[in-house]
Amino acid sequence: MKRIVCAWLILWSFSSLAQAPASNVNTAKPWAYWWWMGSAVTEEGIRKNLQDYAKAGLGGLHIIPIYGVKGYEQQFLPFLSPEWNKALTFTLQEAQKLGLGIDLSLGTGWPYGGPWVSARDGAQKFSIQGDSLLVLPTKQQVKRAAPGGEGLVMNPFDETAVRNYLEHFDANLPKGNTVRSFYNDSYEVYGANWTNDFLAEFKRRRGYSLKPAVLTKTKNLTEDERRIWADYHTTLSELLRDRFTRMWTGWSQQQGKITRDQAHGSPGNLLDLYALTDIPETEYFGSKQYAIPNYRLDPDYDSTRYGVPGVLTMQFASSAAHLTGKPLVSSETSTWLAEHFRVSLSQIKPIVDELFTGGVNHIFYHGIPYSPPEEKWPGWLFYASTNYNQQSHFWKDLPELNQYIEQCQQRLQTARPDASVLLYFPVQDIWHGVAAGEAPFLFDVHANSRRWLHDTPFGATAQQLRNHGYQTDFVSDSLLQGFSVKAGKLISAAGTTYPVLLIPKTQYVPLETLKKIQQLVQQGANVVFAEAPGRVSGYKDWKNRQQQLENIRKSLATLVKKDYLSELKRLKIRQEKMAEQGLSFLRKTNTEGTLYFVTNLGNQFHRGTVRLGSWARSVQVTDPLRKRQGYVPVQAQADSTSDIELALEPGESVFLQTYASLRKGAPWPEYPATKDTLKLTGIWQIDFQEGQPELPMPLATSRLVSWTELDHAESQNFSGTGRYTLRFKRPEAWKTDQPILLDLGVVRETAQVRLNEVSLGKLWSLPYRIQLPANVLQEENILEIDVTNSSANRIRKLDEDKFPWRKFYDINFVSIQYKPFDASKWEPEPSGLLGPVVLLK
């Protein structure tokens, strides 16, 4: 087995990264986490659920066995038992019939561990007592473990522990299974910071012996102590890379599988870890306030504790994929986006769009708990939102979101990266700085990301580049070593090109990295330093190495440009001015030309001239939401840019495809610039169509307010669909051939619209507006709007009645603040059509 491990290490070296095996599953459609609660699954339940998921437009599921449901213990299937393996095999067979892919966590819950992990292989930590270093077990158990998966967490820094862990699956997983990918969740090996041979590995890798007493110093560190702490972190990062990520990925390839990995949360350099996996995966955890009018931030989300999701953290996964030629970048999407039973599709679309601008092209919903078809609402539920299964209030509208994502990802997955700037990530600044004295220091995507990313010179530079329209990928010390130069372009080992390398303000840098940069400059690469790097990293012989650094620094002195944005302009690095207009974008390249995904996540831009950083004679606009498409006039500029006129309201998104040739085709059906507004008023008839716990009585009102504020008490508990009907006359001035828009204002949460018995479609995202077909507006009109609300008021009623639906083991069911969930004290959630409803022309 040891010979095989060595082969893996060679196979997965940075200079020779294997590509993911071809797969016939649909990755353009969104996939979803699929929690098997207690693995209490049945063949009938599996078949029915998979059929529902396929019909809704999902492309695949990711099986994660977790804790079970009370009262169903007799149905629990122990993990990897013959019965469990039979259920897995049946699932794979049924999924294949439906064209669904299946991924699998290599364990239950998270992180990796189980009853087969011995005390010797369990996670370890160090403790210093006097002059002695004690190696202690962390004793951490698998979190959210499923039956048969309970046990110690594996030591990810120990080669034998990892090998033993993988051998258990060699012996127990069904042979010849059609699982597409093995998955590793975000690093949550709490407190683990050591392994038995750490001192020997430290000496081998760093060239000197680590004196444990240094690790007792955590504050007021000397320069030497900071350097030793940085070497400790470097060694821990390398052990995680070499002994876990590289071994696991190589073993998976031996099984004929690819890997999906969430490297974040770990003590390792994220770029190096992501680079070793087939599908690097980031996550969108939590909520943020977009400037899109009427976008809602859940007031109960604690950003101080959990952080604010941001596109820069997403770029670590996508950068690694771009540098190493990996076609897919996935994301755990909408974890705790809002409180249970409150999440709206209108809240999901902007985060999906932001993920796309961060380079993600393989969305995984978080997620779908397996629930038996016969189980009454609210069914079996996972402790963390968002719920995408059949019990979700937006289930019948989910195909709309799925189709939108599929339209986007079809384009994003078939185009190549096209970044303007390669930005160096100075991880040694973190390890010599805020991480010094912490064991371990974790690169998470939550609150700690402020310390290692957002509040650093690197983070500030990355954000400034983004704000000014310079598309950027990040590069690590190790990955930079694989670069070469051809015709002035920097070329990664996988062949991805960049016109310039930018070094942000950097205090500590490996001497090998600076030598490599000097070599790239000598070969003709464009390199810009925001400031001259200050110090060589690491402890051994650092004063002598510092002199070498200073000699190299002198030779590169002319490349230091504090105003690096002006230098980028001087070098004519491609810039997308639309970013300065408040638009977010991703630029890629394909066989036709340049492909842009453009989304308006703010409230600055509405319409105007957009200058593309690409020369074009034709530009085609595609609306992936409404499936509209057409060409816009182009003004090609002498500086290899192009101007187009674009209307894009807050919340909207489009693709722009450039062509070097003149193309003929239908013109883009642009929404008109609105000059006149007609507010639709009168008596609205509200008839409740379907829902629970009971249908409120019909009512009529002239006020568009939440139906929970109207006269019927039962409407406060209702979750379902209400039909709003309004009869109105068209003013003579609105008898026109000009395009007319219908804007519904505030909708809680989705709306199916008909005008004079003509379906206008379903509105589920911001802005809630649609263009009227020609001639549909008559002198006398009947407008019907079927609005479906969330399930918040229904669960509120269940909790008021003390109905025992919370029946899960482990954490059971908690609120977004991780307190026991109780909706009985909630105020009624606004529901229905709140308006104002207006016509625009």
Strands (DSSP E) contained in 433-538 are 472-475, 484-486, 489-491, 497-498, 501-503, 508-509, 527-529, 535-536
Strand order in the sheet with 489-491: 484-486, 489-491, 497-498
- CATH 2.60.40 domain residues, the chain: 577-659
Burial of 721 (C-beta count, 10 Å sphere; 0-12/13-18/19+): buried
**Separation of CA 116 from chain center:** 32
Look at residue 8 in the predicted model and tell me its pLDDT.
Answer: 38
Helix-, strand-, coil-residue percentages of the chain, each rounded to 5: 30, 25, 45
CA dihedral 320, 326, 328, 330 (to 10 degrees): -30
Look at residue 23 in the predicted model and tell me its pLDDT.
Answer: 58
Look at residue 67 in the predicted model and tell me its pLDDT.
Answer: 99
Look at residue 802 in the predicted model and tell me its pLDDT.
Answer: 97
Which element (helix H / strand E) includes 261? strand 258-261
Q: What angle do CA 747, 750, 752 make, to 5 degrees?
A: 110
**Does residue 560 sit in helix, strand or coil?**
strand
The ranges of the chain with pLDDT < 70 are 1-23
User: Is the N-terminal amide bond of 212 cis, ω within 30° of 0?
Assistant: no
- CATH 2.60.120.260 domain residues, the chain: 677-840
Class of domain 577-659: mainly beta
Look at residue 22 in the predicted model and tell me its pLDDT.
Answer: 43
% of the chain surpassing 90 pLDDT: 94
User: How many angstroms separate the CA atoms of 40 and 17, rounded?
Assistant: 39
* Residue whose C-alpha is closest to residue 535's, from 523, 518, 524, 548: 548
Look at residue 161 in the predicted model and tell me its pLDDT.
Answer: 99
Q: What is the topology classification, in CATH, of domain 677-840?
A: Jelly Rolls (2.60.120)
User: How many angstroms separate the CA atoms of 157 and 124, rounded?
Assistant: 9
